Amino acid sequence: MGALHAGHISLIQAARRDDTFIVVSIFVNPTQFAPGEDYAAYPRRESEDLEKCRESGVGLVFTPPVEAVYPADAVTTVRVARVSETLCGPHRPGHFDGVATIVTKLFNIVQPDSAYFGQKDAQQLAVIRRLTRDLDLPIEIVGCPIVREPDGLALSSRNRYLDVAARRQATCLHRALQDGRRLIQEGETAAAPVTARMRKVIEDAGSSRIDYVEAVDPASMQPMEEIDRPALLAIAAHIGGARLIDNLLAEPPGQ
Q: Quickly list DSSP for the chain.
A: --S--HHHHHHHHHHHHH-SS-EEE----GGGS-TTSSTTTS---HHHHHHHHHHTT-SEEE---HHHHS-TT-------TTTTSSTHHHHSTTHHHHHHHHHHHHHHHH--SEEEEEGGGHHHHHHHHHHHHHTT---EEEEEPPPB-TTSPBP-GGGGG--HHHHHHTTHHHHHHHHHHHHHHTT--BHHHHHHHHHHHHHHHSS-EEEEEEEE-TTT--B-SB-SS-EEEEEEEEETTEEEEEEEEE--TT-
Same domain (yes/no): 14, 84: yes
Same domain (yes/no): 90, 202: no
User: What CATH number corresponds to the domain at position 199?
Assistant: 3.30.1300.10
User: What CATH number corresponds to the domain at position 83?
Assistant: 3.40.50.620
In a domain, 79, yes or no: yes
Same domain (yes/no): 10, 113: yes
Q: What is the pLDDT along the chain (255 residues), one digit of tens a residue?
A: 999 999 999 999 999 998 789 999 999 999 999 889 999 999 999 999 999 999 999 999 999 999 999 999 999 999 999 999 999 999 999 999 999 999 999 999 999 999 999 999 999 999 999 999 999 999 999 999 999 999 999 999 999 999 999 999 999 999 999 999 999 999 999 999 999 999 999 999 999 999 999 999 999 999 999 999 999 999 999 999 999 999 999 999 987
What residues are labeled active site? Answer: 8
Q: Quickly list DSSP for 92-145.
A: STTHHHHHHHHHHHHHHHH--SEEEEEGGGHHHHHHHHHHHHHTT---EEEEEP
Same domain (yes/no): 215, 236: yes
